[in-house]
Amino acid sequence: MTRSPAAQQPDLRTLQARFSAHLRDPSRHPPPEGIEDRRLKIYRDLFYNNVEDFLANAFPVIRALSADTVWHARVRDFYARHRSSAPQFYRLAEEFLNFLQHERGEHPDDPPFLAELAHYEWVELALGISEAELTPELADPNGDPLEQPPALSPLAWPLAYVWPVHRIGPDVQPTQPPAQPTYLVVYRTRQDDVKFMEINAVSARLMQLIEENPQASGRTLLLQIAGELQHPEPSQIVEAGRGMLAGLRERDILLGTRHG
């Protein structure tokens, strides 16, 4: 029995799957039959250009240090292979980061610092669009963070990288990581400006302990650091820590002390 022409046509879901596969990777997936290539090209260019333009703005340093052919090949690799789990378009940068970290794999066109640089650029974007607010109930601004539990801003992210990501650009592209890791705090101020500050290993450890020990005073945490360092004069670490806490407070990284 011969099927009617209508019955031989693919159903809507199959047609959509063929159409989307072709838009993602036209070199591997032929277009649905019966659609003029001139019309398909409009969609191919529109979809890809929207994705590429967003990523170029979200990762300006990576874009600046990548040759055009390398950049577009990388974006097309992401566009063809990655399956996004987030429906919001603004989260496309996070999806691209996940692709570079977990799916892209080693590639001769990718510098060794690419994944870390992408994370650093994504953090700046994520903090810029975060809906978190520095409201009064988060901390007592008049408390003493040395004698009371310090309260870190939810808009301050301490970070550690193998590569000096904050210095990388078209004119600075290291091929070997430095001997010491790079410690940074990326934060958003009360004026909604996203900034970063390079910190040392002791400051990074202090911020880590503040997060892990919400009921401990700054003094207690600094004495713990002095013990970890086996410092002969713990009081010196405490006094240096007093200055660290004051500096973090001035930048809205530390909001004050925890209530109660």
CATH number, domain containing residue 163: 3.90.930.50
Taking alpha carbons only, the member of 30, 27, 254 closest to residue 138 is 254
Residues 258 and 173 grouped into a single domain: yes
Q: Is 3 within the bounds of a domain?
A: no
* Of 110, 125, 154, the domain-final residue: 110
CA dist 247 to 146, 163, 203, 219, Å? 13, 25, 11, 16
Q: Is 71 within the bounds of a domain?
A: yes
pLDDT at residue 1 is higher than 50: no
> Is the Cα dihedral 79, 80, 86, 88 positive or negative?
positive
Residues 103 and 141 grouped into a single domain: no
Q: Is 129 within the bounds of a domain?
A: no
Q: Is 115 within the bounds of a domain?
A: no
Residues 104 and 146 grouped into a single domain: no
Contact 183, 204 (CB under 8 A): yes
Q: Is 124 within the bounds of a domain?
A: no
Residues 228 and 144 grouped into a single domain: yes
Q: Is 250 within the bounds of a domain?
A: yes
- 16-25, 142-151, 193-202: least confidently modelled range: 16-25
What is Dmax (Cα atoms) for the chain? 94
Residues 50 and 168 grouped into a single domain: no
Residues 170 and 219 grouped into a single domain: yes
Q: What b/e sequence results for 222-256 when a residue is b if at least 16 CB atoms lie within 10 Å of its CB, and e otherwise?
A: bbbbbeeeeeeebeebbebbbebbeebbeebbbbb
Segment 190-248, tens digit of pLDDT: 999 999 999 999 999 999 999 999 999 999 999 999 999 999 999 999 999 999 999 99
Whole-number pLDDT of residue 88: 80
Taking alpha carbons only, the member of 209, 198, 196 closest to residue 237 is 209
What mean pLDDT value characterizes the chain?
90
CATH number, domain containing residue 71: 1.10.150
Angle, vertex CA 47, rays to CA 45 and CA 51, nearest 5: 110
Taking alpha carbons only, the member of 174, 54, 161 closest to residue 112 is 174
Residues 88 and 155 grouped into a single domain: no
Residues 171 and 98 grouped into a single domain: no
Residues 141 and 249 grouped into a single domain: yes
Helices H, strands E: what count in the chain? 10, 5
Residues 89 and 162 grouped into a single domain: no
* Of 75, 110, 145, the domain-final residue: 110
Segment 22-40, tens digit of pLDDT: 667 677 767 667 666 667 7
Whole-number pLDDT of residue 100: 97
**What pTM did the predictor assign?**
0.85
Q: State how many domains the chain has.
A: 2
Residues 33 and 144 grouped into a single domain: no
* Of 110, 145, 178, the domain-final residue: 110
Residues 146 and 260 grouped into a single domain: yes
Q: Helix (H, G, I), strand (E, B), or coil: what is residue 66?
A: coil
Q: Is 6 within the bounds of a domain?
A: no
Domain boundaries, position 153: 135-260
* Long-range pairs of 99-104 with CB within 8 A, sequence gap ≥ 24: 104/74, 104/77, 104/78
Residue type, 160: A
Q: Is 123 within the bounds of a domain?
A: no
Residue type, 123: V
